[in-house]
Amino acid sequence: MAHLPKPPRVVRKIRSAARTFLAHEATSGIILMAAAALALIVANSPFAEAYFHALHFATGPVLAPAIGPMTVHLWINDGLMAIFFLFVGLEIKREIVDGRLASPERRRLPVIAAAAGMIVPALVFLAIAGGNPAYRSGWAIPAATDIAFAIGVLALLGLRASPALKLFLATVAIVDDCGAVAIIAVAYTSQLDLIALAGAVGVVLLLLALKQRRVMAIWPYLVGFVALWWLVLLSGVHATVAGVVTAALIPVTKSPGMPEAAESPLHQLEHALSPWVAFGIVPLFAFANAGVSFAGISPAVALDPLVLGITGGLFLGKQAG
């Protein structure tokens, strides 16, 4: 059988360099920050109108009447980010079952940190903007941690940031996000679709039954994840919660010396999602959400109590919490 000729040396060098770059731990953080910087540049350039038009372009049918047509921005924030939270939830569950979060003592600290990271920013916001009754309901805005950007910053540090620190931050952000979802559901959702919510509970019970029966095929859990995502979206609750719930219900095999056994659905799915999350979902999220236009911003706007409250909550409250 004839052998194919080797590619030129320069091509082999480029391929090798590309593999090394993509395998490096800090690469995903570099791509994330580059996407965020590009979004800022585009949003303040002659291409700004095309950028915002593309993000708000309606792509298909109305999946949930409460949010209207699914735009590109909604698909990224409510769709792809649900997959992101599924991935992070899988990682945290693996660590809880047979890793650095196996003991209750180690789980307690991230939960306390997440609670402080929600309460203190809310108090800072209310201290700055609470004097205006119209602004008081905005206290939940600075309460949530942007997990994608936080993990991206840590990824930039590469080996200088310990795995334990990254896991701690991911756990804090997951708890923080669940708390923010609960706050939004209670304080900001005017009307919940109770039928859709009941359907979501039914899907959760089905996934729980699959787990109890030790069903090791991945596809039933993925089908359940899609169904749960749609029902949660339809109910009026933020759809990313579907990723966290599904991750908690996917089986992981615990065995001496092999906590990540190959037959574990959790292990298989986590590794399958890893490159898509790092090099696809997270950069897309950054590009879609970091594009802030500075046009029309005046000192009066920048010094408005609402703006100062959100800024103070995020930059002062988060650090203090």
In this predicted model, what pLDDT tens digit does every residue of 16-43 receive, in sequence order? 544 544 444 567 777 888 888 899 899 9
Q: Return the domain boundaries, the chain.
A: 26-192+277-320
Is the CB of residue 314 less than 8 Å from the CB of residue 124? no
pLDDT of residue 22: 44
Tell which wins on pLDDT, 261 or 119: 119
Mean pLDDT of the residues in the chain: 77
Q: Which two tokens stand for residue 46?
A: 């002659």
| pLDDT surpasses 80 at 87 | yes
Its pTM stands at 0.77
Tell which wins on pLDDT, 109 or 228: 228
The CATH T-level fold of domain 26-192+277-320 is Na+/H+ antiporter like fold (1.20.1530)
Tell which wins on pLDDT, 133 or 152: 133
| pLDDT surpasses 50 at 300 | yes
Is the CB of residue 82 less than 8 Å from the CB of residue 222? no
- Mean pLDDT calculated for residue range 254-264: 54
Tell which wins on pLDDT, 256 or 154: 154
How does residue 136 score in pLDDT terms, banded at 50, 70 and 90? low
Q: Which two tokens stand for residue 213?
A: 């029966």
Lowest-confidence pick of 49-63, 135-149, 213-227: 135-149
pLDDT of residue 221: 94
pLDDT digits (tens, 9 = 90+) for 174-211: 677 667 666 666 565 657 788 999 999 999 999 999 99
Name the nearest CA neighbour of 230 among 222, 221, 239.
239
| pLDDT surpasses 50 at 1 | no
pLDDT of residue 261: 45
pLDDT of residue 304: 74
